[in-house]
């Protein structure tokens, strides 16, 4: 028996009732409506975290922010984390990312440490991870680097994705990259 193909579509800040397939008669979404008519459409779906980056990381790892260490935007997914995409790749699937990923920072803003010192804890135990996730391996999605060099590259697999066509940023500030 052959393995099924599947596509996961994840939008950002997008309510279900903003789609025709969920009853919106004003907003036109014919392509998504067509996919929904031929696939699975969930009636009850809840996010693990209402913040973009941590919720995407929960989806990719199956682990809550308290376990995966990314509890807020600005804390990237550990490059050593195992994602469901890694598991699919291991099972023989060809994997691809097309669009926004946001498993790493898009800006070079640093998440500040606790505003109130935790006197009873050493510096290395004050956060969910002993080390800040910084360095070249955590710069794949930084928009200012794409602006400086639109042809830059980063190593794949990227969190399990063999092929990456990255669209980075929000609204009219989108940067992009293609790697194979």
Of residues 52, 90, 101, 144, which has the active-site annotation?
52
With beta carbons less than 8 A apart as the criterion, state whether 128 and 66 touch: yes
52 part of the active site: yes
Of residues 49, 101, 102, 177, which has the active-site annotation?
102
Please give the structure tokens belonging to residue 40: 């699975």
**Residues paired with 97 in a beta bridge:** 164
With beta carbons less than 8 A apart as the criterion, state whether 21 and 32 touch: yes
Residue 106: CA count within 13 A, CB half-sphere: 16
DSSP element (H, E) containing 99: strand 96-99
With beta carbons less than 8 A apart as the criterion, state whether 61 and 82 touch: yes
Please give the structure tokens belonging to residue 55: 């919720």
49 part of the active site: no
Tell me the catalytic residues.
Answer: 52, 102
């Amino acid at each position: 028996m052959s393995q099924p193909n599947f596509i996961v579509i994840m939008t950002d800040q997008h309510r279900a009732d903003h789609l025709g397939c969920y009853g919106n008669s004003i907003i036109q979404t014919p392509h998504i409506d067509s996919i929904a008519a031929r696939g699975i459409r969930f009636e009850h779906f809840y996010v693990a975290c209402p913040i973009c980056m941590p919720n995407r990381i929960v989806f990719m790892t199956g682990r809550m922010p308290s376990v995966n260490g990314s509890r807020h935007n600005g804390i990237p997914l550990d490059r050593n984390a195992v994602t469901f995409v890694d598991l699919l790749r291991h099972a023989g699937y060809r994997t691809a990312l097309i669009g926004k990923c946001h498993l790493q920072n898009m800006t070079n803003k640093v998440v500040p440490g606790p505003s109130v010192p935790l006197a009873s804890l050493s510096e290395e135990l004050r956060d969910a991870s002993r080390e800040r996730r910084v360095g070249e391996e955590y710069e794949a999605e930084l928009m200012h680097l794409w602006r400086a060099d639109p042809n830059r590259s980063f190593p794949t697999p990227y969190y399990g994705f063999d092929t990456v066509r990255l669209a980075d940023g929000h609204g009219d500030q989108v940067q992009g990259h293609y790697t194979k």
